[in-house]
Amino acid sequence: MQLHQASWPEVEAYLKRSKGIVIPIGSTEQHGPNGLLGTDAICPEVIAKEAGDEAGFLVGPTFNVGSAQHHLAFPGSITLRPTTMIAAVNDWIDSLVRHGFTRIYFFNGHGGNIAPVNAAFSESYSAYSLDGEACPYQLKLENWFTLPGVQPLVRELFPEGEGGHATASEVSVTYYAYPEAQKQVEMSPKIAPTGPIRDAADYRRRFPDGRIGSDPSQATPEKGAKLVAQAKRAMIADVKAFFEGQA
Amino acid sequence: MQLHQASWPEVEAYLKRSKGIVIPIGSTEQHGPNGLLGTDAICPEVIAKEAGDEAGFLVGPTFNVGSAQHHLAFPGSITLRPTTMIAAVNDWIDSLVRHGFTRIYFFNGHGGNIAPVNAAFSESYSAYSLDGEACPYQLKLENWFTLPGVQPLVRELFPEGEGGHATASEVSVTYYAYPEAQKQVEMSPKIAPTGPIRDAADYRRRFPDGRIGSDPSQATPEKGAKLVAQAKRAMIADVKAFFEGQA
Amino acid sequence: MQLHQASWPEVEAYLKRSKGIVIPIGSTEQHGPNGLLGTDAICPEVIAKEAGDEAGFLVGPTFNVGSAQHHLAFPGSITLRPTTMIAAVNDWIDSLVRHGFTRIYFFNGHGGNIAPVNAAFSESYSAYSLDGEACPYQLKLENWFTLPGVQPLVRELFPEGEGGHATASEVSVTYYAYPEAQKQVEMSPKIAPTGPIRDAADYRRRFPDGRIGSDPSQATPEKGAKLVAQAKRAMIADVKAFFEGQA
Amino acid sequence: MQLHQASWPEVEAYLKRSKGIVIPIGSTEQHGPNGLLGTDAICPEVIAKEAGDEAGFLVGPTFNVGSAQHHLAFPGSITLRPTTMIAAVNDWIDSLVRHGFTRIYFFNGHGGNIAPVNAAFSESYSAYSLDGEACPYQLKLENWFTLPGVQPLVRELFPEGEGGHATASEVSVTYYAYPEAQKQVEMSPKIAPTGPIRDAADYRRRFPDGRIGSDPSQATPEKGAKLVAQAKRAMIADVKAFFEGQA
Amino acid sequence: MQLHQASWPEVEAYLKRSKGIVIPIGSTEQHGPNGLLGTDAICPEVIAKEAGDEAGFLVGPTFNVGSAQHHLAFPGSITLRPTTMIAAVNDWIDSLVRHGFTRIYFFNGHGGNIAPVNAAFSESYSAYSLDGEACPYQLKLENWFTLPGVQPLVRELFPEGEGGHATASEVSVTYYAYPEAQKQVEMSPKIAPTGPIRDAADYRRRFPDGRIGSDPSQATPEKGAKLVAQAKRAMIADVKAFFEGQA
Amino acid sequence: MQLHQASWPEVEAYLKRSKGIVIPIGSTEQHGPNGLLGTDAICPEVIAKEAGDEAGFLVGPTFNVGSAQHHLAFPGSITLRPTTMIAAVNDWIDSLVRHGFTRIYFFNGHGGNIAPVNAAFSESYSAYSLDGEACPYQLKLENWFTLPGVQPLVRELFPEGEGGHATASEVSVTYYAYPEAQKQVEMSPKIAPTGPIRDAADYRRRFPDGRIGSDPSQATPEKGAKLVAQAKRAMIADVKAFFEGQA
């Protein structure tokens, strides 16, 4: 069930059988010459939707703009400052907790979100820890690309040129989701350079077309379908364990 | 063109012909017994997409959770505190301005967003006004439901029971967008009560099923299609005038 | 009764008969060639004082600097950033609620305050709505110039050149309050131009002497007296209804 | 000249001869059984007005609600949290600096404001100090009651029972300003107890009627007139020295 | 007992016999040609350690970077903005209160901390005062250099050239603490100038080598030892009175 | 060279030969029955001091209270909320950058700091990335326990019971630093349980004596000496590479 297409009585009924919800969380940022700006939001969104439909859990709206300051030298990238992101994630959490959700699973598509979301969780728990009260809910952050079985499949599909940003795998997932948005672009060099991530100007100087270590010209909808299938399977198991309090 | 399905070189090319962008902005909140929680985000999103496709302007990601504290007594509603929303809207603005956008058109689906978004605009302009510099960009907030021609059509389609929240018209637009999400629910009373909006507990006491003054059981995809067509026409004219600096 | 001239035992006694208080809220900003910088604070202050004296309700101190970034290109204008204003309004509310006030009526003289004050109210309610508790108090914002009967009188007194900023009516009210502060200034053009409000530099370019659409050279203390009398009558009725919980 | 009764062209003309402005800053808080809630705002306001009229300097609007959390157990007291006060004072400073004021003299009536206003000054200077730029303006905080000659006069007028809060002198100044607001109240004990200031509940327990160490039943308008005259003389000298850069 | 060298069971045991803790609080900022950047943190730290060891009270970690914007034109100085310092001091307080500490004694070495720490205390108390609850703890700020007997000893040791910043006495205390860090530097002029403190550029212009009114070339470890002994004695008495609720 | 024992002219001289500085960053939190509350600050502090002395780089003051909300159910633990920590780290960075430092190496002793410090770095870079300017400095976070060669040595010294919190290795380092602070405590169970980290109440329930997966009764000063020696070697190489811009 997708929350944005449900009515409140339907969510009320859901809460009688489960206190868990999944929130896809991504970013809107450049993904190289042939990748979509929405890649990091689309990937967790599409996997979460299929998983939620199959396993019957509730999927909330996608947190679609995240922490992406380092991509701002490429047009179209949008960022939240980390402190804004911490505030926003806490408002989402507080709203969901108010309804009785006790397991909130943030399903992530963007490495740059990991630090601010973990900081947001710590901010959320701090209120209880400083008050000396037990926190009534549990928070979890999981990336689709680190779920069990995903990286082995990635290495099988892309023995070379998976890379670290604008990866062959994530572009494939978006091509599976929006085949009409595929873009044919010659990559030069074939495999992009690698290096550390700092501010936006430094990033563009090091990675002139936005890619890090990747050759996303290998991306296809078919490979995306395989990745989604594997990630979905792994995610359903992970979500179930978390919702049942075993995670 | 939708930003989340574009690549950065495509946005770079777009910026050579236009400095304007549209950001759909809504809310995730209860919309009565048969309305979708995503209604206020879906309405501007679907209208903006059709308008952008037709008129060739860029549509950014949807700001999908807004200011909805008064709906929190109904499961599934999510809110940003107004101060969080002001910070987030400013981060979006700053990111877009960084790329050279000078006309940012927030296309709104939720009355509760009007105050915080206008406060956010004022916060954004304040930096320039206090520094004594001319601000290089212009911001505009427009609701789909107040565009020219929309309310006349609403009155024609729903002579009675349009209402103030969970309106017949907005539910129609979502049914047009997601016909599979239509819900048949008996309304009781036929037309919901009206009154002031304060905190969530007060709201639920006054408006037990979430509607204000409306009978959204009249909603149909067909009526939604007519509303979208009219809103699209009006919006294209309004966006063009704004992008060309005449608004 | 005016709070700043009362002692705490007098306020304590007042609270035994009423839980309502009025807070005049304005701005310190340019009001054209012959208008006072304090206009928007003076208008609600003088009307509230007369109304409070007549009807026996408590009038708090005037919140005299508001949201006025767009006027900063004219010397003497002072602004709060919207986020500061939201914090300050909330501190005032929290202080008054602490004493047992349950009806707080902000009586406004400045259009630019409407968005941040409504955002502040929403911020205030959010604490209760997110906690799932009923908020024990009610907040209301009302402008003196939109009270019943005021605009009809304005149109009668100033058939032309009332305008949108540095209006003939508000200047009249201040001349009634401080006749010694009247200023004779030739207006050129007679009626000022109109247009949108953005940042301060844009404002000064569009409206070189600060007025929008108005000819305040028509202002007189006598007209001000009539406006105050009408606004006072309407305000007393409005405040009573709100304090009695009917608003 | 009082800013709130001036027009912007008058302030523009003033700025050609002086870059200095005085901001009265006070508090709205209980002042014992016969003192006004507005005492700490009224005192600097009335002295500044007379001094400004005599010496020709500009007096801005009164910052009338300050840092008064410790008085909240007495009805009518209003506080800003210190962080809110720091933000608001900085917005006032930034607005005035924007117009070219380079000497801003905060004329204070409340001991509890000293820490937050000094913290606000430090916050203001920090922006320049961290950027490595010279700050173009100077800030000063001065209390009316610590000006040269004031305490000697106080000791002469009130050999006993001046006290530390709701002092005989400050109540006298307000009775001079608003003789109609005088209140006759028997004090018991004649002279109030003394002690440290902490939170509001502790304050009310230690100082049941709000006074600290004072007997304000000695207050009269005549004594207030003498205090205002002395403070005015001393303030004019102090302001002149500061405006001329010698302070 | 020093908290950072204790285990949690040792602190748990301590809390059974005392609810009081001492937090040394200082600054990291230039202290003239021969003074250490850590002077203001070292002084309260070394005195508190000796006092705590002798009298058996618990000494927490040193808050070692404070409010020092005015020193930023000298390399090595580090500052917190006052608002950051208020937030940090409140987090320390909230953490300690959570464990049951009810007397928190901030033992200060830096004049610039006085305003922000007092503002932080007021912020801390505000939460209780606005809620109408009694605050369960007491906060105190005391400077080592204003303890009884310290200034008389200073005047005896340094009849001339003690000064206001980079004082002979504070440098002596650090030389006592770290004799290996003594620096021999010719002072020119022998005694530094005096004046007001504003932003960093202004400070460096007025006080070219960082000293204010002092001749710290008189500093010796032996004099430092005497100062520490006197401050320790006075501090033990002051802490005891505070912990026992008599302060 | 340690900054807190240096004078500003010494730091000025240092800046002529290097633009790099090391900031030890830790936490004050329970470390099980025999570990010191200051463990996570002491470890990076002692290693950085020895490394700085040997290799001649500047070591700043220790950031000694970090992000530790999950430890608050154990007496003596102190935390910063993540948003406070982000603000404080940014103030330290801004101060150091102001002096011309362009390589700031945060040397960390606490896993819980990783998310907020990385978020702080992102916040710092955001200012430049949003402004479209190249950031003039580089930030790095490195943990002493993940430096090359450290974990192999840990496994050699503690084949079993190193654990995840209150580890045998970190307790050893503190015993090396403060041998007088060693504590003999029987551990029960010998090796502590493992599990996820959430709020403080949950933590104490899962890990009753504070340890996670460790047996720190194996800790000795001798093992600590070996760890410090290895970490120092690795850190010197890492710092040099970073200062020389190769990291």
Question: Residue C224 corresponds to which tokens in the numbers above?
Answer: 């001000």
E12-62, pLDDT tens digit by residue? Answer: 999 999 999 999 999 999 999 999 999 999 999 999 999 999 999 999 999
CA distance E138 to E134: 11
Shortest distance, CA C176 to any CA of chain D (angstroms): 13
- The answer to whether the Cβ–Cβ distance between C129 and B79 falls below 8 Å is yes
| Per-residue pLDDT band at F246 (split at 50, 70, 90) | low
- Reduce the DSSP state of residue E118 to 3 states and report it: helix
ipTM of the modeled complex: 0.98
Task: Quote the pLDDT of residue B245.
Answer: 86
> How many CB atoms lie under 10 A from the CB of residue A133?
12
A-C contacts at Cβ under 8 angstroms: 6
Output the pLDDT for position C246. Answer: 60
pLDDT at E246: 60
Interface B:E, ≥3 CB–CB pairs < 8 Å: no
Please report, for residues C24, C31, C42, C56, C211, the alpha-carbon distance to residue C144 in angstroms, rounded to integers and kept in the order given: 10, 17, 11, 18, 20
Each residue's pLDDT expressed in tens, for chain B with a length of 247 residues: 999 999 999 999 999 999 999 999 999 999 999 999 999 999 999 999 999 999 999 999 999 999 999 999 999 999 999 999 999 999 999 999 999 999 999 999 999 999 999 999 999 999 999 999 999 999 999 999 999 999 999 999 999 999 999 999 999 999 999 999 999 999 999 999 999 999 999 999 999 999 999 999 999 999 999 999 999 999 999 999 999 986 4
Q: What percent of chain F has pLDDT over 90?
A: 99
**Mutation for C interface: E130, E131, E135, most C CBs within 10 A:** E130
pLDDT at E247 over 70: no
pLDDT at D111 over 70: yes
Write C222-225 long-range contacts (CB < 8 A, 24+). C222/C176, C223/C157, C223/C158, C223/C168, C223/C169, C223/C172, C223/C176, C224/C172, C224/C173, C224/C174, C224/C175, C224/C176, C224/C177, C225/C176
B132/D98 CB distance under 8 A: yes
Report whether B99 contacts C170 (CB < 8 A): no
Q: Which residues of chain A, if any, have pLDDT below 70? A: 246-247
- Non-local (6+) Cβ contacts of B237 within 8 A are B148
CATH architecture of structural domain D3-243: 3-Layer(aba) Sandwich (3.40)
Look at residue E94 and tell me whether its pLDDT is greater than 60. yes
Q: Which chains touch D (3 or more CB pairs under 8 A)?
A: B, C, E, F
Q: Cis peptide leading into B61, omega within 30 of 0?
A: no
Q: Where are the domains of chain F?
A: 3-243
- Measured between beta carbons, the chain A residues lying within 8 angstroms of E94 are 130
Judge contact between F132 and A79, C-beta under 8 A: no
A-chain CB neighbours of B96 within 8 Å are: 78
- Contact predicate D50/D232, CB 8 Å: yes
Using alpha carbons, select from B172, A123, A209, D111 the residue that is nearest to residue E118.
D111
Q: What is the pLDDT of residue D236?
A: 98
Model pLDDT, residue D247: 46
pLDDT of D246: 60
- Are the Cβ atoms of D200 and E129 closer than 8 angstroms? yes
Q: For the purposes of burial, counting CB atoms within 10 Å of the CB of D131, is it exposed (0-12), middle (13-18) or buried (19 or more)? A: middle
> Choosing among C10, C37, C69, C199, which should be mutated to test the D contact, i.e. which has the most D CBs within 10 A?
C37
- Identify which has the larger pLDDT, E247 or A104: A104
Q: Are 3 or more Cβ–Cβ pairs between B and F shorter than 8 Å? A: yes
The mean pLDDT value for C24-53 works out to 98
pLDDT tens-place string over residues D121-175: 999 999 999 999 999 999 999 999 999 999 999 999 999 999 999 999 999 999 9
Query: Residue F160: its pLDDT value, please?
Result: 97
E129 chain-C contacts, CB cut-off 8 A: 98
Band of residue C247 on the pLDDT scale cut at 50, 70, 90: very low
Residue whose pair of structure tokens reads 């001749």 in the numeric block:
E215
With CB atoms and an 8 Å threshold, state whether E95 touches A131: no
The helix or strand, by DSSP H or E, that contains position F55, with its residue range, turns out to be helix F39-55
pLDDT band with cut points at 50, 70 and 90 for residue F245: confident
Q: Which two tokens stand for residue D98?
A: 């924007």
pLDDT (tens digit, 9 = 90+) per residue, D21-78? 999 999 999 999 999 999 999 999 999 999 999 999 999 999 999 999 999 999 999 9
**Contact present, D219 and D168 (Cβ < 8 Å):** yes
pLDDT given for residue D245 in this prediction: 86
Give the tens place of pLDDT for each residue, F152-199: 999 999 999 999 999 999 999 999 999 999 999 999 999 999 999 999
Q: Tell me, what amino acid is at F148? A: P
